Structure 1
């Protein structure tokens, strides 16, 4: 694995995607909202995750899965995160990860993620989840996820319908910010994009044929060919209920940010940090 520069002195607000920052600023202005979420929904979901994934998965420790544990610890060091989150595996042969918790955070890595990604790509994947934590997303993520629980569809159904879609849209956009942190963790745009290509469905037998340029060209063509009114409506209806943005959209957003010069500025700043 390559030699990386530990990220120091990072102002997270400068990392956030504009649509992410706008929503986060609005949510933070609601008096006491975050505290209430953390003490109710957040607390319950943290306890649930601790029980669920300790019972069904494998807790990642220095003895159970030392290599994976080392990656988590090193990613935290890279991103200047002092509170190393708990980490568990979950059986599913997909390339997927997620995280739960604010006070007691936990990262869950599916088995396929560990098997199908290279160590460098795991840095991007773990860095992405740590990015959600570093950006302050998790309290609001848990609140959004609670909107889809059975209780939220009972007597509160009408009120919930007014906030579900805007929050779910933000939930997807928050991935754009977390991808930027993931890139700062792995520090190789080709590694970040190869991870996304695998997540987009690249067959395992083709892993030695990853073509970054073709995928970037796909993002450009997608934007150019789907910008009309009807295409925008179809895109909206297609993505509307999804929990994550399309991989082509994520790749395009990350590629734009990388080429904006912000990535190089942050790396340079970290090298000169005192």
Structure 2
């Protein structure tokens, strides 16, 4: 089935806020409220870490173009046109056994896709990945993400533990929380660009399984995503929160569930029909800060309340057992 967008389909002037996930909006506002964080990010780039990271990619990868994987290169250009972006970053492919893609580079970003991703994914799924990366560029995620990649490459033995008065380990944790949220926004961008949310979910399923789509059933994966989202008690849900905290990307089943919940809300259809926020119409920073406080308060309050209920129930059961035993 051909799900390529119709000729001339373009989300003219679309603002990234139009498809921004509430968690992304909240996390971005939270980052902006950390004194000195932007100074730390700039310093990491000024110290040459970003140049070294870029050189490592460029020296061990192949730059794509009309004569190098032309189909993938053309899809890359198309997704940027669909998001009404004139400056198309260079696209590279690198030999790596994990299916992934990344966009890095302050000021002049580049998109890098791993060879395993191209091997596993079909044309539609590859376009979904490229559209996801284009969403990062439109949403201006690249500078923060570049800083996060630098900190992750440094590992736990950071040569400079503190910059600008901020401990880099804490900065890394904050950036990881933000990036997990940013990924949810860019899944929405991928759905809008491809006009096929199921292709995005199918991509997540393939990346999670490491197997080609012909051997997998999307309906079963989506049922699994629903079970993950709604199943288990408070303690289990709390454990998922702590599991997330150690990851740069949300778990694939959660991403699929979050995307389809948004699609079912009607927002996806409204944007595809041409009704969306445009660049220059975004609300002010004060409203964003309010959203941040509300989002994180609700997120943690619900989780700990559920966990507390589960602990209380377990305690009552233990007390009843002890009474009977006595």
Alignment TM class, shorter chain as reference: 0.7 to 0.9
Matches of residues 38-57 of structure 1 in structure 2 within 5 Å? 38=42, 40-41=44-45, 44-57=48-61
Aligned twin of 2:261: 256
Q: Distance in 2 between matches of 1:35 and 1:161?
A: 15
Matches within 5 A, 1:39-188: 40-41=44-45, 44-148=48-152, 149=154, 152=158, 154-156=160-162, 159-188=167-196
Q: CA deviation at 1:39?
A: 6.8
Mean CA deviation greater in 132-141 or 246-255: 132-141
1:213 aligns with 2:215: no
Report if the CA contact (8 A) 1:12-1:135 is conserved.
yes
Structure 1, 147-156 or 57-66: larger mean CA deviation: 147-156
Distance 1:223 1:263 in 2: 21
- In structure 1, what is the equivalent of residue 240 of structure 2? 235
**Normalized against structure 2, the TM-score is what?**
0.74
Question: How many Å apart are 1:118 and its aligned residue?
Answer: 1.4
Report the more deviating stretch, 172-181 or 21-30: 21-30
Deviation at 1:38, TM superposition (A): 4.7
Q: CA deviation at 1:46?
A: 4.6
Structure 1 264/44 Cα, relative in aligned 2: closer, same or farther at 3 Å? farther
Moved over 6 A (4+): none
In 1, Cα distance between equivalents of 2:46 and 2:14: 26
- Once residues 162 and 189 of structure 2 are traced to their aligned partners in structure 1, the CA distance between those partners, rounded to angstroms, is 36
8 Å Cα contact 1:15-1:180 kept in structure 2: yes
Q: CA RMSD in A?
A: 2.7
Q: 1:42 to 1:12 in 2, by over 3 A?
A: farther
Q: Which deviates more, 38-47 or 121-130?
A: 38-47
Q: TM-score, normalised by structure 1?
A: 0.87
Q: Give the conservation status (yes or no) of the 8 Å contact 1:172–1:245.
A: yes
Contact 2:95 2:114 in 1 (8 A): yes
